[in-house]
Structure formats: C-alpha cells, structure tokens
Amino acid sequence: MKNSTHTVTEAELHASIDGQLSSDRQLEVDAYLTAHPDEARRMQSYQAQKQALRDLYNPVLNEKPSARLQYAAKAPRPWHLQRIAAGLVIAISSAGSAWVARGMADENTLQTAFIQPYAGDNAPHKLAGFAQRAAVAHVVYSPDTRRPVEVGADQAQQLENWLSNRLGAPIKPPSLQSVGYTLIGGRLLPGERGPVAQLMYHDASGQRLTLYVTQEIPSQTQATSAFQFGQDGPVNVFYWVDKNMGYAISSGSAQPDLLRVAKVVHQQKIMM
Amino acid sequence: MPLDEHELLNMLPRLRRYARALVRHKEEADDLVQDTLERAWLKSSLWRGVADMRGWLFSIMHNLHADGARRPRIHTVELDDNTPEIPIAAQQGEQLAMRDLQAALNQLPDEQREVLLLVALEEMAYADIAKTLNIPMGTVMSRLSRGRERLRIVLETQAKPVHLRIVK
C-alpha cells in the first residue's frame, strides 16, 4: 500500500473510483488527488483496470447459456421429485438382482414380417449384456430432474448430427407420436468399447421411456433377432438386434404398451 | 411456491460472467454455475426471505467455489466445441492485451479476485460484498486494495519487453 494520507483513507480512494462515496467526501478526495499526482496516477490505473475487466468479461453476457444451464435454472417439476426416490430404489434393487428374461408368451403379437419369431420357451434366461446396460441406464437417467438428456429435442438437427458423429453411424431418433410419446432428447453413454446412444421420450402423463441403441451386440448373436422381453422389478425391457445394431426399449409401462412402442420403433429406419 | 424461475434465468448471464472470470476454464465455470443453480433450487424454500437475490446467488457460488468440494463431473462433449475459451471482444492487438489481463487476474489469490470482480463486473456495493462473502467491511476494503495493486504490478511487469532466448 502506498502511504496513506492524513485526510483521505485508502478505502475512500477506492470508493471514489467505484462511485461509492458521498458527494462531499468525493470533493475532498478530488482535491487530494490533485495535490498528489502519484496517487492520482495509481487511481487512474485502477480505473483502467476495472474497465478492462468489464471489456474482457462482458461479452459473456451475450453468449447463449448452454442447454444444461438453462435447464438447471428452471424449476424442477414435482413429479420429478417423486421419481427421484423411486429411481433410487430401482437402482439399488437392480444392482443386486439377477437379470432374467422371459420369452414372449404371445408370438402372434409380433406382426413385423422380417423379425424372426422368438423360440418361445418360458424358461428364464440371462439378458444380453446390452439389454442389461440399457435397463440400468434407464434407471439412472429417466428420473433425472436436471439433465435427463444432454441435448434436447428442441435442437433436433444438432442432436441427430451429434449422436451420428459420435456413434460413427448416422442415426435418426424415431418418432413415437403415434403411440403417444414425445422425444425429450438424447445422450451418449459409454458402452463396453465405445459410445452408445440413449434417446428419451415421455408421454402426456410424464411417464418416461428410453431407447438404447448400440453397435455392441454379443458376437454369437444373429444379425437380426426376435423381440425379447426382460423385466427387473418395475422396469420392462424389449430388446432386439436388427442389422447388427442392438436396440432396447425400457420403461415402467406395462408389457403390452411397451410392445406397441417397440413395434413402432422397429418399423422405422433409425440407423440410416 | 413463490419461486420465480425467470429471476434465475435473468441472473444466468451474470452468474456465468462472474464464474468465467473466477475460474480458468469455460467448462469449469459453467459447472460452477450449474451447481449454484441446483443448490439454489434445493434451498428454494428460503427464497421468500431473501431480499437480495443476486447477493444470495453469488454467495452460494462463493461457498461452492471456496469449499472446492463440488462433485466431480465427467465431462461430456458439448455441442459448442467451437466456442472460444476467451470471449473475443477485441481486435488482434487488443486481444493479446486481453489475454494478458486474464493471465494477470489468475495470479491473484481467489479472495482478492472475488472482491475485485464483484466490484468491477457486478458493481456491487462494498457492504453487499461483505454480506455476500460473509466477511467484514474492512476485509473487503483491504482485499480490494491489495488485489488492485497486485494486478497493477503484474500488468506493468508483463508490459515490459520480454527478451526471448532459446533454452537448451
């Protein structure tokens, strides 16, 4: 600190720069600075410094905050809060329980010509790895209040480009409007060897559904497989392999409802 | 609930500006802002009693920054990869000076930088800064004084011609 003065304090000098001094004191500070050119220069330098900081950082004010920040600024919805607790319970139970799947009881519900009918025994068997990862990802992200997705559906083209670039294959989120679901957005997740995509949808009641798309299918799997159904507690999963891509749809909805969605997804060209 | 998300949305640019100046990297700054907003919503039951929303939000950010114990985050790829780290407001020549200022600012201790930035960017009254940072007025003034002087010295040192030499 430079030498202080008998008449004016260091704090008052700063207050004069910052316009936080009463007008009568300001006059005295001005008089003091006129009599002390060194101090006047020091204060000018501080003033310039202040302006430079504003010039440097004010442009940030005009930047558009990223989607995640805009989302975080918005009020959480009450139903989200309820689902946080539910989600935690599911996550804990999922971690320990064995993953089993049942064959589809009713093959006739599958009307899509190019799906091979599922072999149809009712004995439980282990889900393929990606279906399990899909279900866990559903449980982790679907109750998320703040960032259920990384890129929202409002940026549809960017979402498509981004996921396609990162997956290394062109992907188009399917439209599920015909079965009452609207796209919320998507995110990338780590698979075993690379990124996988998770797309999230919700219906009018807020029920969320996720579609998991991956290139990581078990090596013994056929290039195209039947719909398979798996279940863990309240999470239902339909999954299948089509043209060497694995798809899994996870939701808390009942099986018939989910199957309707699965069929609509299957009918659409997701990977271009 | 008398919560107003518009108020938070309106504050968002200012929170981002301050955070950007406070921490070095854009991503890190946005993380700090996000944590601040999330904390604000968690404590939203207190909003009714908050007279100065700006000071309250900045004090949340200050506490999060100061305790440094924010949750670690795995960075995902952001869409705006091309957004420059340093806001480009200036022409070429000025830009270098801007970078110098940023570097000089980073040499200040956090406690001085905070006061300096609240004064310069937010034009906050000293008394409000004392409340926001939960320190006495005298401490605000001494940090401001020391911070400004230190920044001046760092900038003046930088301004002197530098003789480059090859280090073998």
Confidence label for B160 from pLDDT (cuts 50, 70 and 90): low
As for how many domains chain A has, the answer is: 2
CATH number at residue B112: 1.10.10.10
Nearest C-alpha in A relative to B39: A72
| Domain housing A203 | 70-267
Model pLDDT, residue A21:
92
Model pLDDT, residue A264:
87
Cα angle B40, A67, B27 (rounded to 5 degrees) comes to 80
Is the domain of A134 the same as that of A194? Answer: yes
Tell me the pLDDT tens digit for each residue of A219-243. 666 667 777 888 776 788 888 888 8
Q: What is the mean pLDDT of chain B?
A: 80
**Interface mutation vs chain B, best among A55, A56, A147, A159, most B CBs within 10 Å:** A56
What mean pLDDT do residues B149-157 have? 91
Domain boundary among A62, A86, A105: A62
Model pLDDT, residue A152:
86
Q: Which of A114, A105, A107 is nearest to A267 (CA)?
A: A114
Alpha carbon of B21: minimum distance to chain A alpha carbons (Å): 7
| Domain housing B156 | 89-163
Partner-chain contact B9 A166, CB within 8 Å: no
Residues of chain B in contact with residue A11, where contact means CB-CB under 8 angstroms, are: 141, 145
Is the domain of B56 the same as that of B100? Answer: no
Task: Determine, yes or no, domain membership for A5.
Answer: no
Is the domain of A233 the same as that of A172? Answer: yes
Is the domain of A125 the same as that of A190? Answer: yes
Partner-chain contact A60 B16, CB within 8 Å: yes
Is the domain of A92 the same as that of A139? Answer: yes
Partner-chain contact A65 B126, CB within 8 Å: no
Partner-chain contact A59 B144, CB within 8 Å: no
Model pLDDT, residue A206:
83
Is the domain of A58 the same as that of A175? Answer: no
CATH number at residue A233: 3.30.200.100
Model pLDDT, residue B91:
47
Model pLDDT, residue A197:
92
Confidence label for B152 from pLDDT (cuts 50, 70 and 90): very high
Low-confidence ranges of chain A (pLDDT < 70): 1-6, 76-128, 218-223, 233
What mean pLDDT do residues B122-130 have? 96
Tell me the pLDDT tens digit for each residue of B26-78. 888 998 999 899 888 888 877 777 888 899 999 999 999 987 745 454 444 44
Model pLDDT, residue A56:
92
Is the domain of B58 the same as that of B98? Answer: no
Is the domain of A176 the same as that of A230? Answer: yes
| Of A14, A70, A150, Cβ closest to residue B141 | A14
Task: Determine, yes or no, domain membership for B84.
Answer: no
- Phi, psi dihedrals of residue B130, rounded to the nearest 5°: -60, -40
As for how many domains chain B has, the answer is: 2
Is the domain of A54 the same as that of A161? Answer: no
Confidence label for B16 from pLDDT (cuts 50, 70 and 90): very high
Is the domain of A50 the same as that of A75? Answer: no
Chain A (214-233) residues lying within 8 Å, Cβ to Cβ, of chain B: none
What mean pLDDT do residues B94-123 have? 88
Task: Determine, yes or no, domain membership for A3.
Answer: no
Residues of chain A in contact with residue B152, where contact means CB-CB under 8 angstroms, are: 42, 45-46, 49
Task: Determine, yes or no, domain membership for A1.
Answer: no
Chain mean position to CA A207: 17
Work out the burial of residue B6: count CB atoms within 10 Å of its CB; fewer than 13 is exposed, 13-18 middle, 19 or more buried. exposed
Is the domain of A53 the same as that of A124? Answer: no
Partner-chain contact A188 B77, CB within 8 Å: yes
Chain A (173-192) residues lying within 8 Å, Cβ to Cβ, of chain B: 187-188
Is the domain of A21 the same as that of A77? Answer: no
The β-bridge partners of A228 are A239
Count Cα neighbours of A113 within 13 Å in the Cβ-side half-sphere: 0
CATH number at residue B3: 1.10.1740.10
Q: Supply A46's token pair.
A: 């501080």
Task: Determine, yes or no, domain membership for B81.
Answer: no
Residues of chain A in contact with residue B76, where contact means CB-CB under 8 angstroms, are: 150, 187-188
On whether ipTM exceeds 0.95, the answer is: no
More confident residue, B113 or A143: B113
A202's CB contacts (< 8 A; 6+ apart) are A181, A182, A184, A208, A209
Is the domain of B94 the same as that of B67? Answer: no
Model pLDDT, residue A74:
82
Task: Determine, yes or no, domain membership for B53.
Answer: yes
